[in-house]
């Protein structure tokens, strides 16, 4: 496979996965094959006892392709591996950021930099899947991602909006897995366009529309009663969910043009900035889990030139998001996560002036929702090759998010085929990251 194909695969949801996600998220119908409908094994929303929660909602910013840790949030000034990227002192004593994050340098007091993340997956698809689900990619099962677990275990808060939304792709990784299809994320292809086709068709009056839906319920009712299985319910639920969404007072949440221009300008005009703004609007309306994807981090070649393009929109959008959430009082119980499938080699690939995949020691961020800001957790050596203190595996990282959300990490849930799974697999929450 050529590099170009690799990049393409890593960054774009395929047409098929997009369509699958759309059908599932918008219409509540999964196309993934399910084992026998042992629906009894799945409990109802929110029936699982939660633990102490410090966060209610998550904005999950996903840097797709593998974000370079040395050129972003874990610079190693003076090290041979640092290359030409300079670094800046942030407003938190122990935290330096790269020169590409001058705005974030003023907000690191809100952020916990996790410098010792460790994965065992060095390829994009596998790494992304692992980061999202805490399980390795397998041919026989699809695991739910964190957003699906949260809505499944804790239940939705807003009853008329979907509890799980994925912006700018990410449909492939943010997934309901083997859970009922209503836990699939609602995919939003472009934050600017918001939610499409959510109004009654022109020329169909409310009266006619209601009458049609009434007929539909009549016709479906008997069948549904006779074959009351998960799949059959899913088709019924799809209409009911779509109806409650069409009727929702909160539909405006999807429209970022309702924001004052100064706010829109602060987040930036690129898809990631707009996605972050939409994410803020959605969590304000109690959507539980919103993922926003930023593509293009697979910098095998011209790493240092590419950083100048990739980082500024993230610097801007993340600063705006943290400042805006904080000023609205929402950062107290909203956790903002910045994650990626792996980091990039400290060693510079001199032939192409790039950095290659490096799952051994990389950096992710956590902020808000009870997380202690202004700190660094974990340590790598002077050149960034190895974790030398407080390793945080991908599973531990996800367990930490789950812990903040009050999700029991020990709880075993059985898939339709009867296999036990946990929200962050074997991960152990890092309580030291909380205030």
Partner 1 sequence: MHISPLLLSFAVGAEAPAVDFRKEVLPILKGRCIECHQDPATNSGKRPKGGLRLDGKHWILEGTRSGPVVVPGDPNLSTLYELIALDKDDPDLMPPNSDGLSKAEVETIRTWIAEGADFGDWIGAPAPGETSPDTPKLTPKPTGKLPRIVQLYIELGEGLTPCTPNQLAAAAGEHGMLKPVFPGSPLLAANFPSNQGRTGTDHVRGLAGCAGHIVTLDLGRTRIADEALAVVAEMSRLVKLDLRQTNITDAALIHLFGLNDLRSLNLFSTKVTDASIEVIAKLKKLETVYLWKTQITPAGIGRLRELRPKLRIVHTPDLPAPERGGPTEDESGRRRRR
C-alpha–C-alpha distance, residues 321 and 107, integer Å: 10
What are the structure tokens assigned to 318, written together?
């993340």
- Judged by CB under 8 A, the stretch of 67-75, 152-160, 165-173, 195-203 that binds partner 1 is 152-160
430 binds partner 1, rule: CB under 8 A: yes
Compute CA distances 176 → 162, 241, 427, whole Å.
Answer: 13, 16, 20
12 binds partner 1, rule: CB under 8 A: no
Closest approach of Cβ 32 to partner 1, in Å?
Answer: 24
- Taking the least distance from each CB to partner 1, the nearer of 231 and 332 is 332
Closest approach of Cβ 102 to partner 1, in Å?
Answer: 10
Are 170 and 337 in contact by the 8 Å Cβ rule? The answer is: no
C-alpha–C-alpha distance, residues 166 and 179, integer Å: 17
- β-sheet bridge partners, residue 118: 393
Among residues 260, 329, 336, the alpha carbon closest in space to that of 292 is found at 336
- Taking the least distance from each CB to partner 1, the nearer of 32 and 391 is 391
The residues in 72-111 that bind partner 1, with binding defined as CB under 8 A, are 103, 106-107
What are the structure tokens assigned to 117, written together?
């993340």
- Taking the least distance from each CB to partner 1, the nearer of 378 and 416 is 378
- Judged by CB under 8 A, the stretch of 140-148, 200-208, 222-230, 391-399 that binds partner 1 is 391-399
C-alpha–C-alpha distance, residues 42 and 230, integer Å: 10
158 binds partner 1, rule: CB under 8 A: yes
C-alpha–C-alpha distance, residues 240 and 102, integer Å: 47
- Judged by CB under 8 A, the stretch of 35-43, 235-243, 248-256, 417-425 that binds partner 1 is 248-256
C-alpha–C-alpha distance, residues 358 and 122, integer Å: 7
- Taking the least distance from each CB to partner 1, the nearer of 51 and 220 is 51
Binding marks (x or -) toward partner 1, 198..237, rule CB under 8 A?
A: ----------------------------------------
The length of the chain, given as a count of residues:
435
DSSP secondary structure, 373-394, as one string? PSEEESEE-TTSSSEEE--EEH
- Taking the least distance from each CB to partner 1, the nearer of 21 and 341 is 341
262 binds partner 1, rule: CB under 8 A: yes
C-alpha–C-alpha distance, residues 268 and 286, integer Å: 24
329 binds partner 1, rule: CB under 8 A: yes
393 binds partner 1, rule: CB under 8 A: yes
Size of the site for partner 1 (CB under 8 A): 65
- Taking the least distance from each CB to partner 1, the nearer of 126 and 220 is 126
Q: Which 8-state DSSP code applies to residue 149?
A: H
259 binds partner 1, rule: CB under 8 A: no
Member of 370, 373, 374, 416 binding partner 1 (CB under 8 A): 370
379 binds partner 1, rule: CB under 8 A: no
- β-sheet bridge partners, residue 375: 112
* Residue 17: its H or E element: helix 15-27
367 binds partner 1, rule: CB under 8 A: no
279 binds partner 1, rule: CB under 8 A: no
Among residues 407, 371, 403, the alpha carbon closest in space to that of 114 is found at 371
Q: Is the dihedral of CA 198, 201, 204, 205 positive or negative?
A: positive
Closest approach of Cβ 194 to partner 1, in Å?
Answer: 19
C-alpha–C-alpha distance, residues 28 and 240, integer Å: 10
What residues line the site for partner 1 (CB under 8 A)?
6, 49-54, 103, 106-107, 118, 120-123, 126, 157-161, 248-250, 262-263, 265-266, 268-269, 285-286, 300, 316, 319-320, 323-324, 326-329, 332, 356-360, 370, 378, 386-388, 390-393, 396, 406, 428, 430-432, 434-435
């Amino acid at each position: 496979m050529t590099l170009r194909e690799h990049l393409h695969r890593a960054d774009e949801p395929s047409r098929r996965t997009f369509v699958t996600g759309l059908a599932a998220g918008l219409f509540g119908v999964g196309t993934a094959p399910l084992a026998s409908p042992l629906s009894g094994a799945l409990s109802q929303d929110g029936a699982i006892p939660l633990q102490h929660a410090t966060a209610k909602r998550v904005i999950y910013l996903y840097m797709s392709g593998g974000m370079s840790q040395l050129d972003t949030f874990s610079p190693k000034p003076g090290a041979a591996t640092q290359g030409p990227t300079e670094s800046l002192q942030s407003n938190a004593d122990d935290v330096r950021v790269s020169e590409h994050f001058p705005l974030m340098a003023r907000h690191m007091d809100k952020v916990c930099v996790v410098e010792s993340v460790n994965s065992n997956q060095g390829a994009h698809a596998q790494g992304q899947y692992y980061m999202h689900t805490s399980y390795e990619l397998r041919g026989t099962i699809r695991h739910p991602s964190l957003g699906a677990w949260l809505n499944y275990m804790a239940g939705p808060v807003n009853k008329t909006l979907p509890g799980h939304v994925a912006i700018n792709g990410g449909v492939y990784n943010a997934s309901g897995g083997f859970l009922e299809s209503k836990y699939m994320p609602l995919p939003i292809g472009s934050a600017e366009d918001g939610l499409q086709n959510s109004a009654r068709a022109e020329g169909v009056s409310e009266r006619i529309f209601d009458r049609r839906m009434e007929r539909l319920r009549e016709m479906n009712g008997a069948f549904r009663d006779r074959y009351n299985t998960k799949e059959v319910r899913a088709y019924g639920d799809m209409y009911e969910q779509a109806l409650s969404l069409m009727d929702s007072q909160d539909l405006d949440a999807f429209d970022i043009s309702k924001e004052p221009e100064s706010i829109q300008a602060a987040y930036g005009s690129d898809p990631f900035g707009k996605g972050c703004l939409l994410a803020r609007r959605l969590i304000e309306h109690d959507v539980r889990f919103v993922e926003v994807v930023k593509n293009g981090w697979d910098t095998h070649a011209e790493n240092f030139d590419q950083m100048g393009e990739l980082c500024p929109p993230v610097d801007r959008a993340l600063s705006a998001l943290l400042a805006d959430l904080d000023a609205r009082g929402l950062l107290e119980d909203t956790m903002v996560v910045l994650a990626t499938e792996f980091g990039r080699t400290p060693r510079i690939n001199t032939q192409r002036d790039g950095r290659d995949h490096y799952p051994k020691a990389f950096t992710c961020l956590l902020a808000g929702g009870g997380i202690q800001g202004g700190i660094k957790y974990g340590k790598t050596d002077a050149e960034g090759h190895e974790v030398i203190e407080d390793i945080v595996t991908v599973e531990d990282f996800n367990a930490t998010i789950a812990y903040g959300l009050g999700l029991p990490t020990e709880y075993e849930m059985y898939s339709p085929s009867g296999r036990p799974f946990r929200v962050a697999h074997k991960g152990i929450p890092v309580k030291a990251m909380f205030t």
